[in-house]
Chains A and B, each alone.
Chain A
Amino acid sequence: QSVLTQPPSASGTPGQRVTISCSGSSSNIGSNYVYWYQQLPGTAPKLLIYSNNQRPSGVPDRFSGSKSGTSASLAISGLRSEDEADYYCAAWDDSLSGVVFGGGTKLTVL
C-alpha cells in the first residue's frame, strides 16, 4: 500500500486530454513539492514535472502539473501513442522522513 494514492490505470484516445490524480496527506503533498515521473516500457523513470508544476527542458508543454491541498494532478493534453507509459508521483513525507512514491498509473492510449 503506497503512501500516495494513484489510480492504477487511465486511458484515452489520441488527441484527448487525460488527468492522473495523486492523493496524499498534510505530511507529504500538503507541505512539500510534488514530482512526476514517466516510465516508458523497459526503461528507467524520467523526471516529467518538478516543484508541483515546472517542466524540465525538453518536456513538451502538453504535460502540466498542479497541486491543491493534499492532492496533485498530472494532465496530458493532445494525447499521443508515445505517451503510453507508467506515471508516478513523489513527494517528501515529513512524518516518515523519507521520499514516498505513488503506486503508479498505467496510461493506455487506445
Chain B
Amino acid sequence: QLQLQESGSGLVKPSQTLSLTCAVSGGSISSGGYSWSWIRQPPGKGLEWIGYIYHSGSTYYNPSLKSRVTISVDRSKNQFSLKLSSVTAADTAVYYCARGLTGRKGRFDPWGQGTLVTVSS
C-alpha cells in the first residue's frame, strides 16, 4: 500500500526558507491520475491546503501563499518537496503531505504522519 513520509528541518529562523520532502513508497510518483499535495495545521487549529503538483509537473497553490511557495517533484527519488520562503511565526505548523486524485480536487488519501515545523529565532 502507498505510504508517505515527511522529512526536513523542524526549526526554521524567521525570514528563512522552510524546506520539506515527502518520500513516497509502495507506488510510483510518476503514475498518471494523481496529484501530490502539501497541507498544514497550526497547533490547535484547523487544516490549510498549501498546494499540489500533478505528475505532469503542473502546480496549483493556495492564493494566500502563492508568492512564497514552490512544490517540485524528484522522480528519480520518488519524492516531492515543499519550499516556503520568508517564514514567520505564523508558519509554525504540522506539515502533511498527501496524495490527491486528478479531477477530484479536495480528495487526499493517504496522508503522511506529519512533521512539526517551528519558526523561531
The residues of A with any CB-CB pair to B shorter than 8 Å are 2, 32-35, 37, 43-47, 50-51, 56, 88, 90-92, 96-104
Contact = CB atoms under 8 A, between A and B. Distances in A.
Interface residues of B, number: 20
Main secondary structure, interface of A, reads strand
Given A44-B96, A50-B104, A96-B63, A101 B114 contact: no
Contacts of B63: 96-98
Interface of B: 46-49, 60-63, 96, 104-114
B42 to A, nearest CB: 12
B46 A99 contact: no
Contacts of A104: 46-47
Most central of A43, A44, A97 by chain B CB within 10 Å: A44
B116 to A, nearest CB: 12
A99 B113 CA distance: 20
